[in-house]
């Protein structure tokens, strides 16, 4: 069967770019699906938390709706897909080394990732496994469409193959490594060893999609984040694309999805894995929610998501993702994290020691800058918890909710009315009123670290304002105490709402302590200060939002 002309593919790519603007759909964010050859580490948790923050923030930002949802027809909940990638040569070899069946290995490790989701408070709408029956059906249907459209052919293939990456690399992406004991080759991008392989397999006509991919990328310069990664991928596509090996002989790889109508071949694990994003939405039926608003991925798998995946989608006639956000990696005390060095961070132990809200905060404030690697340093984590979470956020809450101060204002009634601001209040008032837009701007630029920083900047101003006003002092006028407490409580309400996607449990507790009604926890309520805030008549002290870390 003849495959479409390049001009038709380019036209289709441009249509894909406009699809998002004309389709009512839920906001849809995904994590990479995690390979089950080893236990979860802190980098996996980082990816999942970033995606979860984006989903929770979308729910806040659009009051539970997709930005394009048809208001009046019911709530469209944002969606999040995560899960585990369970096929391929690497799984097969690890299972053989452990003398167990591949499925047993997958079941055990996949449950660890599911448990990490629960420990990390990840609200996913589908935890998908590539061994799920509906995924096998989806992938085989996807393959059949590629074959019917003439994008697959059998050919002789040889090249450098990295078992750890489940990927072939061109010679330009491989380098020779000389060590004291041996000479070997590795992938420049991932640093994994490669070996020369020769075999007959199915190939995907990736070369046919050079111009369509260029049309998509040039029309959507923000489709790949950060900008440096976009430029890297754009240069790679401009340099030319080779056809992609998409199967392995079943004699070498038996642990995977069989090629339809050809039992001698097993599907290449990346074709299998990438289709998970539409399986989770009901494919091969129309995938409701597609295209993805954002794929959150690590920088080591960018090529698969920004070249292979868009080309495969174009080939079957589906829209390309709107944005691929490639975050950087984690070091540990400035050293690259790796199993061989024994410095991988166990995320379960970190959560048990510091608390999930502290971990989520640290991973987003330190690791939310997608352009550079972040360092996981326990001393810095403890400093952030002590200085910002306990010393600024927790301290501000305990100060203004102190029974002595609340009792002094009790004559105002059950509600504290908004006062008239003075020049001393204006800096904080202006910063607070600007905060939602500042926070949203940083989020739209995928700079979650800067968004969190913006909230803590205002919290810092509020603490300075409280310290200057001294509402606990008998010499401070009741009017000044009134202004100080009202404004501090509004800072806590607005920042609590904005930071709830990052620290869901602690910020819900904060808002509950402040007695903030649900109607004042919406995006639309953040742009203006409340006309009044509730007074707390209880005499007990507020329990700490961020208890001390366990030993």
Name the band, by pLDDT with cuts 50, 70 and 90, for residue 551: low
Report pLDDT digits (tens) over 401-421. Answer: 888 888 888 766 678 889 999
Q: What are phi and psi of 285, to 5 degrees?
A: -65, 165
Q: Following DSSP, what letter does each residue of 4-56 receive, concatenated? A: PPHHHHHHHHHHHHHHGGG-----EEEPPPEETTS---HHHHHHHHHHHHHHH
Query: Do residues 190 and 207 lie in contact, with contact meaning Cβ atoms separated by under 8 Å?
Result: no
CATH architecture of 6-150+254-341: 3-Layer(aba) Sandwich (3.40)
| Cα gap 436→317, rounded to integer Å | 38
Range list for CATH 3.40.50.620 in the chain: 6-150+254-341
Query: Do residues 224 and 233 lie in contact, with contact meaning Cβ atoms separated by under 8 Å?
Result: yes
CB atoms within 10 A of CB 227: 12
Report pLDDT digits (tens) over 266-320. Answer: 998 889 999 999 999 999 998 899 999 999 999 889 999 999 999 999 999 999 9
Q: Report the pLDDT value the prediction gives residue 72, as an integer from 0 to 100.
A: 41
pLDDT of residue 70 exceeding 50, the answer is: no
Report pLDDT digits (tens) over 337-365. Answer: 766 667 789 999 999 999 999 999 999 99
Q: Which of 394, 420, 390 is nearest to 486 (CA)?
A: 420
Which letter does DSSP use for residue 528 in this model?
A: S
| Cα gap 475→65, rounded to integer Å | 49
Strand partners, 201: 155
- The number of C-alpha atoms within 13 Å of 299 and in the hemisphere containing its C-beta is 21
User: Per this entry, what is the length of the chain?
Assistant: 551
Phi/psi zone of residue 74: left (φ > 0), alpha (ψ -120 to 50 degrees), beta?
Answer: left
- 329-356 exposure pattern, b = at least 16 Cβ within 10 A, e = fewer: ebebeeeebeeeeeebbebeebbebbbb
Q: Report the pLDDT value the prediction gives residue 18, as an integer from 0 to 100.
A: 45
pLDDT of residue 10 exceeding 80, the answer is: no
Query: The domain 377-534: what is its CATH number?
Result: 1.10.730.10
Name the band, by pLDDT with cuts 50, 70 and 90, for residue 183: confident
What's the predicted TM-score (pTM) here? 0.89
Range list for CATH 1.10.730.10 in the chain: 377-534
Who's near 236: CB < 8 A, 6+ residues apart?
A: 303, 307
Strand partners, 493: none
Helix (H, G, I), strand (E, B) or coil at 395: helix
Q: Which helix (H) or strand (E) holds 198?
A: strand 193-204
Q: Which of 431, 476, 474 is nearest to 455 (CA)?
A: 431
| Cα gap 89→519, rounded to integer Å | 52
- 472-500 exposure pattern, b = at least 16 Cβ within 10 A, e = fewer: eeeeeeeebbbbbbbbbbbbbbbbbbbbb
Report pLDDT digits (tens) over 99-141. Answer: 999 999 999 999 999 999 999 999 999 999 999 999 999 999 9
């Amino acid at each position: 069967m003849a495959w479409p002309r390049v001009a038709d593919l380019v036209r289709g790519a441009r249509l894909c770019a406009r699809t998002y603007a004309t389709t009512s759909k839920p906001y849809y964010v995904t994590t990479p699906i995690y390979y089950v050859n080893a236990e979860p580490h802190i980098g996996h948790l980082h990816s999942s938390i970033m995606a979860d923050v984006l989903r929770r923030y979308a729910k806040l930002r659009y009051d539970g709706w997709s930005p394009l949802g048809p208001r009046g027809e019911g709530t469209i909940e944002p969606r999040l897909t995560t899960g585990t990638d369970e096929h391929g040569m690497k799984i097969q070899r690890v299972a053989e080394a452990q003398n167990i069946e591949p499925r047993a290995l997958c079941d055990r490790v996949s449950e660890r990732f599911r448990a990490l989701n629960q420990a990390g408070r990840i609200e996913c709408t589908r935890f998908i496994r590539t061994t799920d029956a509906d995924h096998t059906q989806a992938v085989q249907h996807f393959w059949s469409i590629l074959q019917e459209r003439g994008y697959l052919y059998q050919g002789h293939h040889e090249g450098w193959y990295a078992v750890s990456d489940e990927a072939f690399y061109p010679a330009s992406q491989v380098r020779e490594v000389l060590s004291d004991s041996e000479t070997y080759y590795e992938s420049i991008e991932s640093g994994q060893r490669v070996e020369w392989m020769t075999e007959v397999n199915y190939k995907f006509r990736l070369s046919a999609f050079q111009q369509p991919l260029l049309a998509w990328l040039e029309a959507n310069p923000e489709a790949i984040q950060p900008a440096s990664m976009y430029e890297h991928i754009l240069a790679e596509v401009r340099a030319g694309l080779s056809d992609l090996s998409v199967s392995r002989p079943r004699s070498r790889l038996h642990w995977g999805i069989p090629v339809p109508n050809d039992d001698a071949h097993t599907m290449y694990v990346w074709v299998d894995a990438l289709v998970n994003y539409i399986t989770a939405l009901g494919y091969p039926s129309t995938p409701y929610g597609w295209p993805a608003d954002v794929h959150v991925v690590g920088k080591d798998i960018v090529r698969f998501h920004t070249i292979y995946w868009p080309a495969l989608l174009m080939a079957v006639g589906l829209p390309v993702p709107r944005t691929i956000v490639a975050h950087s990696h984690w070091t540990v005390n400035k050293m690259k994290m790796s199993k061989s060095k024994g410095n991988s961070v166990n995320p379960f132990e970190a959560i048990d020691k510091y608390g999930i809200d502290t971990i989520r905060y640290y991973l987003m404030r330190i690791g939310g800058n997608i352009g550079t690697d972040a360092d996981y340093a326990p001393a810095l984590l403890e400093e952030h918890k002590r200085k910002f979470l306990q010393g600024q956020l927790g301290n501000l809450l305990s100060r203004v909710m102190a029974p002595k101060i609340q009792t002094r204002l009790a004559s105002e009634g059950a509600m504290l009315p908004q006062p008239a601001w003075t020049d001393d209040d204006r800096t904080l008032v202006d910063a607070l009123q600007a905060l939602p837009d500042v926070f949203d701007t940083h989020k739209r630029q995928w700079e979650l670290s800067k968004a969190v920083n913006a909230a803590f900047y205002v919290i810092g101003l509020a603490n300075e304002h409280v310290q200057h006003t001294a509402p606990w002092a008998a010499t401070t006028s009741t009017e000044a105490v009134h202004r100080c407490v009202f404004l501090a409580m509004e800072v806590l309400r607005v920042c609590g709402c904005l930071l709830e996607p990052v620290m869901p449990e602690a910020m819900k507790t904060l808002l509950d302590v402040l007695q903030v009604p649900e109607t004042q926890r919406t995006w639309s309520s953040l742009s203006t200060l409340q006309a009044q805030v509730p007074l707390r008549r209880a005499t007990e002290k507020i329990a700490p939002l961020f208890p001390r870390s366990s030993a």
